[in-house]
Every structure is written in C-alpha cells, then in structure tokens.
Chain A
Amino acid sequence: MDADGLNDALGLSNDKSQNLGAYIYQPSKHGKSAGERPSKRRKVSSTVDRYEQFDRQRFVPLLNGDEIPKSVQLRHDTYRELWSKQENKIQDILEDVDAGVLTDVLSFVRDTSPQTCDGCIPTALVTVGSNVSSLSRLLSRLNGQLISTEEGSVVVLESGDAPNLKTTLKNIIRAAVTNTDGNDGYQKFLTDRAGPRLLGYDLDLLHDYVQRKGTKKLVLALRDSEAFDPGLLTDLLSLFKSWLDRIPFTVLLGISTSVELFEGRLPRSCVSLLQGKHFEVQEAGNCVDRIYETLQTNPDANLWLGRNVTSTLFENTSDYFQSPEAFSRMVKYAYMSHFFANPLAVLLANPDSTVIAQNKLCEAIRNLPSFRMFCEDLVEEGSTKQVRGMLEDDEYLIQETPKYLEANQQRMRNMFQAVRVVHVCLQYTQSAKKANVSDLSVRALSGELSESPIVEEMVATAKTLDSDKLDELLVRLGGIITNPEADAIQEDLRTLLETCSESGPLCSGYNINSTVTKTTVVQQRIRLSKGQADLSEQAVEYTNIVNRLVALLQVHLTESLINPQDLFLNEAFLFDLRNPLKETFAPRPRFAIERALATPFDYLLSSSDVTMAKVSAKQPATSILYQLYLDSGALVNVHDLWQAFYGVFETEEAGGCDDRVVMSLFYSALSELKAFGVIKNSRKKTDHLAKSAWMGL
C-alpha cells in the first residue's frame, strides 16, 4: 500500500498541519481529485450564479430545495426584525433589574472614601448567588458611568489573572491604563516616563497614572472572589491599604456564596482592613420570569413558544442555574430554529401572494395536521365546498391562509391576555403559593388552564373578596380586559362605594361571615342548616356586582383559553419542538459515546440490512472492544481481552485474517478507550486493566 493510501485510511492529511499546535488556515491548493467535495461545491456555485444576491445570508432553501429565494430571504429578514424587537425588550428588562443595585453601588462608590471608612479600604460586597452574569453587566455599566463623568474607572480582575502577587499587580496596572488609554497608551505610558524605568508591577506606576488622570475613584472589582487564593488576597489588600493615601482604591467583591463564608476564609487582620456595605443582586429566577412574560404576553407578539419549549426552558434554568442571558439565548435559538427550518415561517412575514404561490408551500400547508383538523371541522359544519376549494384550488388557499393566520394569532394573543388576567386575579385570591406566569402559561399552552383547579379556586375566592380589594382588582384588570361590561362593573362599584364610604368595606353574600348556621330541633334530632344572613341593601347590591364580575370572568376565560394545538396554522406561529433546543443546550455526550460504541449501527446506517445484535467483526474495532469490556468485571486481563477480541475476527473471517492486523486494531481500540478514561492500568496484577466507567451511570 502506498503512503497516500495509508494516510487516507488513517484519516491523516498529507500536510503537516495535524502536528502543528495552532496555525492560520490556508485552503489546500492541490484540489483533491476524488471525493464528493468538488462536485458539491460546483452545485452550490451554480445556485450562487442564479441568485447571487441571496447568497449573502445563511438560510438554505427548504421544501426539498424548491423554496424560492425570495421566500428564503423573507424568512431571514423576518427573523432579524422579530428578534431585534424581542432583544430590545430583554435588554430593557435586564437594565431595569440591574438599575436598583447599580444606583446603590454607584452612590456607595461616590460617597465613600477612606476617611469615611475610618482609614479602611472602602469595600462593596456584592452577592450574586447563581446569577453570575449579572455582575459583569453591573461592572461594565459602572465602568461606563464612572468614565463618562471622569471620576475614575473600574478594573475587573478574575482569579485566572492572579496566579501570584507580581502578575496580579501587573495585570491591575495594565488593565487600569488600557481601560482608558488603550493598549498603545499603556506602552507609551511605560516608556514615556521621566526618571528610571519602573517595573510593570510597581504601584508607583498606578500612582502616576492616577495623578495624571485626576482619578478620584479607582474601583477594583474581583469578579469571583472565592476563587482567589486567600493568601494572595491578604497580601494584595494589605498592599492596597498602605497605598490608600496615594491611590483612591475602592474594592468590589463579587461573592457567590455568602458574606459570612467569604469572611471566614480570610484572616482577621485582612478583614479588619476592609469596611463597607453589602449589596444583593436579584436572583435569576425572577428576571427569567419577567423576560418570559414580556415575550409571550406582549400584545403585538407574532410567534409564541409552545408548552414543550417552555418547560424545557425552565427546566434548564432551574437545573443548570442559567443566567437570564443564557435564558434569552435559548429563546433566541428557538426563534432561530423556527425561521431556519420551518418553511411556513415565511407566512409570519405577511408576504404578498407571489411568495405563497409556491406549489410546494401550498402542499406543505395541506399536509399540516392542523389543516386536516380544520377541514374535518368544516366538513362537520357542512361547508364542504370551502374544504374542496382549499384542497384543490391553490389560489383559494392562498387567499384564505393569511386571514386564518391573522385570526388565530389574535386568539393566541387573547389567550395570553387571559393568562395575565388569571395571574392578576391570583395575586388577590391566592394567599400561600404564588403561581407565576410561566406555570400558568404552560397550562394554558397545553389547553388545561380553563378547567384547572387553580382557576376554579380563583373564581370561588374572588366571590368572597371585600369591596376594597375588588376595587383594586378591577383597576388592575381594567388595563387588560377591554370589555364594556368590565367598565360598567367598575362604574357601578364606584357609585356603590361612594354611597356607603363610611361603613367600611362591603362584603358579598358569599363571604363566610354572611352565612349563618341555624340549629333547629326536628323530631328530637338536631338539624343544622345554613342560610343567608340578612344582608344590608348595599351588601345585596355589592353581591350583584360580584356576580356580574365572576360571570364576566368565566365567560372571558372560557372564550380565550383555547388549546393552541387546535388552531389552524399553529405550526407557523407556535414553536413547540422540544428537541433541537434540549439537545443543543443540555447535551448528553457520555450517552452519545456509549451509544455509539455499544450499538454502532444506530449511527452507521448499515447498507446491508443485517441488524446485528451481537458483537461482530463488521463493527468498528472500538465498538467490539467496548462491548467485550462491558461484559467484563472490574478487573480485566489484557491477554484474555485480546484473545476474545481476536476470537471475534477469527470466527467470522475463516482463515483469512492476519492476527497482526487484528492486533493493530486492538491497539487502536485500546488507546481510544484509554483516552475516554474508561480503562486504566491496574497494579493489582500484571497485564490487567481496571474498569473505571459503567455504562448508563
């Protein structure tokens, strides 16, 4: 076998690039003669010729490649437009969440000085909990604020920057200078000095810099304080203390655990150098809920996340302590998937009929499960003509589709408004556990909310509200329900309350205080009977109002809380695929590798349709060895393993197998298992391996 063939067999490229650590990629000049690459490129380039202007973006034509370029472009543009809107909203929320802490920290930085702190270093302790990313957001905004007012700057330090004192100081100084002057400024700063050249870690440099800039506050932020070496931290802080008269340090410590734990790790002498204040950043969970609520219940939303996606999103957030950013990135990915892979997404762009008039797109619409359901309903109603039209006439379908799309999107919006109504009501009726919008949304999206016990209970409790609370509730609801009846109820309640403003809050007839239990003796038996207590006139009137409101609520909820899966074209405006999202953000690499090794034909679609359950020589060598490995005990004799491995080949290839070839396969398989960390050398016996991983654990 010639050298090229051998290298091909081993997957080695002939150039030396595989042995280099890092290099700049240059396309290979010698075009590979064989293989599918050139032909593939040719195909793509021909498309480029035809639709040159559409090659500027990444989307691939769908519908088996027959999607027209304009539609591809539309999908892309709609995604951009839609997401940029949503992203702005998310940014607003994040800024809003941070705003409180930011102003607190900023005013702390401005107001404190060593003098106000009894000569100690002013210190802000910021506990972030699991919301790790919030601190970097906070710091960059703090930095921006301080620089814009020319008060000073923020130097962010991570534990990775601090291997030892010298490097740490050097990093601090460099970061401080480059933060305002850039990298060139730092170089200039080092060289353009009068007097002897100072070393990079000399705090005199920083002193110089502070004097030149007139810095009033130099905030040194340790992002992950717990990860710093306590000894180093002590040294650093005591050094800062001694320079405090010349450099106006303020230390900001980001803490993930708790202030007490952090303090416990430091020596007392070090703690006594610090004096400061404790700030708390809001937990990620609230923030995530707010983002979700804004995205989904926004009255001009076009695309919604379905039940499966929602539950996956929240599962990930709680299981992996995701930051709000990570959450919004997942939502973004969901949007991306929808527009990238769903040809129906083009409908969201309100396209003109030329775009929809693709034969394939109409076919795709007719193949939707929701279309089938819709047609069945129509047939039941007796409008067979309409069904026939939609099935046979493309133009009719094109004409009808946008109408239904718009109508059903409106129903989705109504549904989320109803979710908000329930949420608001729950705040007044539910005492113990507060259901958040995301929980309610999951129920609503699966069409279960209207019959759920939560709503029933809510309605029941709403009946017993007194007039003050009901008034508040109505005000809140007024913003959501736009119904003349609601306004009328509110009006009536107002007038009623005005007439009896001095008698305190009114109670409805459903209130527990207004029922009385009568005890009567009938035929020597005591009979308990409940009856309405005599209600005052106002109370009766109030009860009427409550009844009207409850009726309104019930009607409203049953009307709007539909099952989104039943809506025609829900595939276009509801993204509900669990899988790309789950696998992409919470992968199971170990499972993937174990599966590939234990059942290799799950991946290698065998051309010969033999489904081999047993170990065979047709499988890749590592799979064979892995399956033998799975059968063995905690300690494996290499010789026996080799014999078994050889046996697999020996039995199948009668006579024609070279044991040295098999041996080389054995070698490569063994080295791969070692690289995966499933076997290691055992010292218990010679030529034995210890098993260190169990499948499925």
Chain B
Amino acid sequence: MKRKLSDAGDQPPVSTPKRRRTALEQSNGALNSHAPNASPPNGDASHELPPSGRGQSTPKKANGVSATPLQQSGLKTPTHKSKARGLFATPTKPKSATAATPSRVKNADRSARKKSARVLFEQDEDTAWDGSERLAEEILHGDQPDTEKAGQPLAESIEPEGEEDAPEKGVKQPKRRAGRPKGARNKRSPTPDGELPAHERYFFQNRAGPVKTSNATLNKVPLLTHEEYFEKLGQFEDPCKEEKEYLQSLHHRSFPQWAFEFDEGFNICLFGYGSKRKLTDEFAEWIYNHRLSDTANPTIVMVNGYTPGISIRSIFATIVTAVMGDNAPSKLGAQPTEVLELLQAALKSHEEPVTVLINSIDAPPLRRAANQALLARLAATPRIRLLVTADTPNFPVMWDISLRDQLNLVFHDCTTFLPFSAETDVVEEVHALLGRKGRRVGGKDGVGFVLKSLPENARNLYRLLLTELITLLDDGHQSDDEGAAEGGKPGDETGIEFRLLYQKATEEFVASSEMMFRTLLKEFHDHQMITSRMDASGMEILGVPLSRDEMEGVLEDLVLG
C-alpha cells in the first residue's frame, strides 16, 4: 500500500534548480529551530502550517486533499487553512522555476501528498521499520521540489530501500530524533556478510521487520500456457544430457544388488533429486528379463503414486488381479483392508514373488498417514516385494517406527536429475504458486486435460457446444459489421441459449433428460470450462471462456480423438 508512492515517479521529471533546494533546507531548518508560531521566512514554506507537537497530525489536517476523520480534532479551523493556501500557496507555484505544465506537477504533488497522508494515517507495525513514514512526513512538510526528490529515487524502486534514504539525508537530518536512526539496525541485505552457519542464516533472514524486496510484479511478463510450455521446453537442449545418462547407467549397475535385496526379504526405497520413474521402468524390464524361473512370467505391478485420485484400494485390487488372474472374484469389497486380506489369502498359495513398484510414494494422493499404514501392511506381506521411490526431502517423517518396521526398507540414493514431467503439472503448479488460479483451465490444454477424463457423453456435449458457438461466431462475422470491434474476446460475448443447447443435446442422444443434461453441465462448471449468464430477457446463455482459436483447437482434438 505504501509502495504506491512510487506512482509519483511516473511524472515527467521536473528540473529542480539548486537554489530552490537550498531554500527549502533553509525553511526546514527554520521550521525546526523556530518557535511553532514564528512566521515563515519565505513563500515556499508558506502554505505549511506551523508544526505543533510532533508535527505529524497537523500537516495531515493542513493538507486539505486528504479527508481524514481527524480533520476536526485539530486546532486550526478549515477556513484558516484554505485561506492560507489561497493566499500564499497558489500564487507561489506558477512563479516557481518549473516549466511546462504546472497543473500536472501540482496534481502529482497532490497525489503524492494524498498518499503520504494515508501512509501516516494508516500506520502499522510494518511502516515503523522502513522509511516510508518519514518519507510521507517529508512530502507533507515539504513543497513541490521535495516531492520531486522523493519521487526520483522511488522510480528506481528495485533498489533496496536503504539507498532511497540517501539523497534525502540532507533534508531529514534536522528532523531525526535522538538515538539510532530508524531502521538502521535492521538494514537489510539478503546475503549476510561472511559465511553464516545455516541456523544463523535462518535467524538472520527471519528477524523481525519487513523484508525488503522490490515491487516489481509479473504483470508485464506474459505467462506461459500449457502448449507454449511444452513447445519451448522441447526446443531446449540439455547441456548435461551425457552426464545424466551416465548417472542413470550407474544406477543400472545396482539392479542385481536390488534383486538380491529383494530375495533376502528387504523392500527398497529410492530417494534423491530427480524423477525416478524411468529407473523403475527399466528395473521392471530388468526383472522381467532376469526372471529366475523360465516357466512363469514374473508378476510386476507398477503404481504411479502421483496420479490424482489414486486410491489404495485400486492399487490392492490391481495386485489381486495380477496375482489371481481370471480367478479374481468379481466383487472385491469396498474397504482397502478387505482387498488386502483377500490378497494375503491368495498369496499363501502363490509361489512366485510379486513385485510392486510404486513411483512417488510421498506424492500428495498417497501421503496420508492412513494410506501409508496400509502400504506398510502390504510391504509386510510375505512374497510381496516393494520398491518405492520418494521425491521430497523430508519423506521419512511419513513413517513412525512401527511403520518403518513393517516396511523393512533399505534406502538407496538414486539421484537422476531427470525432470518430473509426468509427476507434476508444471504450468498449473506454477500458476497456483503465483496465485493465478484463474488461469487454471484457461487455454486449450487445460480443457483438453479435463475432457480426457470425462465420459464420452460429456465430451460429445462439449463438442456440440463448441460447434454451436463457432457457427454462431461465423454467422456473426458475416452479418455484423462491428465484428472487428468485438473481436477481442469473442468467447465471452457469444453464447448459446440453454434451452436450445438442451434441445440439440437430446436430438443427438447426448442427454435424455434435463436432469442428466444439467449433471453434465455441472461438471463443466466445476472445471470452469463454461460460463453462464442471464440475458436481458432472463434466458440462460452458455458460453466458453476460450478464444476462438482455442475453441477450434479443442474442437479439432475432440473430433479427431
């Protein structure tokens, strides 16, 4: 909030004659040294009321622009103030050396003052730490040149704020109270001098007070869409490709060792930086090719723990199917424990070991304690060989001693440096991190992703909706001359009437009842794939929050897929 001050910096710089600056310093000096009621020595400071007390509340009131509630609490009457301004201030400004547009300068000046007043008024803990409060005082007390001076350093706002204070030093010196200057103790630099041990660094970076970071935002940087991300990543040539392959080949050499560990009843946990999915894939292949008996194919179950919505029950059910084949009962039971017990019973008569490879056991879908407890019970089952991979740095905290005991793991550092391309939805994660949730389904990819997971019917309905919308758009362009003006966001503007779409949907056997139709639409709503609004006549209009190109892209994929 206080940082909005920097808006003042947008003003075209106005030349500041040296003479005026010294004059101001004189005036400031005079103000501080003289008795409150002493008459101002020159016109520059004339519309500044004599400071009373600490000189904080008065200027706020004096500044007629800010309508603070404190207005009436002060001593001076408003009339007096306006008269003062009217008498002295207004005439002085045009006379000053500033050229060009006095009104603009005045406006900038006023807005800076307005903001300064707000800063002073809405003081909080944070402001006590940095210079903004003092700056605000400065602006209110000083006149136009002062404002300019404050604005100038603020323009380079990327610099740490400590530096901003420097040019104003001369001005502020007399105002400073005795003792250590504000903020000096907590002057921040992100990297401390010398090598601090990690814990000292922690406390250094977490000492009280606001952190000095710049105000730059990503508003001007266009963010990536899913498509662009993948396209651009494909163009990147990895400088460490050979080294990564070499690393991978080193891990390959451990396969016989891992198999031996399996034979001896241990389960394996692979950790370290990088995606280990490829490694587990290759290990599965290795096991397959190095089976100990020629008769039966080894039973290997792969689990991707990062898959959203994966359930322990489904993992167990897959293992049961792998073990029992066609003999698996059609109904397995709803509880994971039931499936697990069935599995344990089935394994009693099963000779061959069953290898279960779980990628990313610490991924959010599997992370819950209950899930881990169930997996530990799976691991403790005889003839189950479990290899898990863990990606996060602190994964061992998932397991307490009894779980650790059941899991019976041996750990291997398998740093691969491979990207987590399947494990994370990079663009989505980053946008969530940046607080740009709105973009979630924005773009063709997002919608495509969602549609892939929806049933056939839903996809048909979306195809129908898109076809209708594109037809409408085409019609609109042909008939409407103003089409070009609206071209910016056609998707938002164009829409199809609810009833009409329903009718079309029944014709195409997509939905047989309105109930069903609404259920399908709700799914789209949940993923922000459609928009809905009421038009003037009260009809519900459905639209799609996509640009026309994107709509066509999605439609193409739908038709082709």
Contact = CB atoms under 8 A, between A and B. Distances in A.
Interface of A: 1, 5-6, 9-13, 17-25, 27-28, 36-37, 40-41, 44, 55-56, 58-60, 130, 132-133, 158-161, 163, 167, 170-171, 174-175, 178, 182-183, 224, 320-323, 325-326, 329, 332-333, 336, 340, 583-585, 587, 589-590, 592-594, 596-597, 600, 603-607, 617-620, 622, 631-640, 642-643, 658, 660-661, 663-665, 667-668, 670-672, 674-681, 685-689, 691, 693-697
5 interchain residue pairs of minimum CB distance: A696-B198, A604-B243, A25-B300, A587-B411, A21-B310
Interface string B175-203: 00000000000001011000001110110
A320 B341 CA distance: 30
A158 B239 CA distance: 51
A668 B217 CA distance: 19
B273 A9 contact: no
8 contacts: A21-B310, A24-B322, A639-B221, A664-B230, A664-B236, A668-B419, A675-B429, A678-B393
B190 A9 contact: no
B314 A21 contact: yes
Nearest to B348: A182
B234 A691 contact: no
Given A687-B218, A691-B205, A590 B429 contact: no
A679 B434 CA distance: 11
A22 B417 contact: no
B232 interface: yes
Contacts of B335: 167, 170-171
Contacts of B411: 583-585, 587, 589
A12 B199 contact: no
A596 B435 contact: no
Contact of A60 (B197, B256, B408, B426): B256
B227 to A, nearest CB: 11
B235 A658 contact: yes
B329 to A, nearest CB: 8
B237 to A, nearest CB: 9
Contacts of A693: 393
B424 A600 contact: no
B393 A21 contact: no
Contact of A174 (B269, B310, B338): B338
A326 B395 CA distance: 20
B232 A663 contact: yes
A622 B269 CA distance: 23
A640 B236 contact: no
Interface string B292-311: 10000001111110010111
Interface string B222-235: 00100011101111
Given A18-B304, A21-B310, A681-B435, A1 B235 contact: yes
Interface stretch (B141-149, B257-265, B503-511): B257-265
B413 A592 contact: yes
Interface string B142-179: 00000000000000001000000000000000000000
Interface stretch (B66-74, B105-113, B274-282, B538-546): B274-282
B271 interface: yes
A604 B238 CA distance: 13
Nearest to A639: B216
B280 to A, nearest CB: 10
A36 B260 contact: no
Contacts of B318: 22-24
Contact of A672 (B229, B238, B242, B420): B420
A309 to B, nearest CB: 15
A674 B391 CA distance: 12
Contacts of B218: 638-639, 642, 687
A191 B56 CA distance: 86
A634 B205 contact: yes
Contact of B272 (A40, A333, A336, A596): A596
Contacts of A681: 432-435
Nearest to B325: A24
B274 A675 contact: no
Given A11-B421, A178-B345, A637-B214, A132 B405 contact: yes
B395 to A, nearest CB: 6
Contacts of B240: 600, 604, 618-620
Nearest to B260: A58
A599 to B, nearest CB: 12
Contacts of A174: 338, 341
Contacts of A340: 257, 260
B236 A665 contact: yes
Contacts of A670: 429-430, 433
Given A24-B301, A160-B374, A13 B198 contact: no
B394 A677 contact: yes
Interface string B402-425: 101100101111010111111110
B556 interface: no
Nearest to A40: B252
A593 B410 contact: no
Contacts of A605: 243, 246-247
Contacts of A671: 420, 424, 426, 429-430, 433
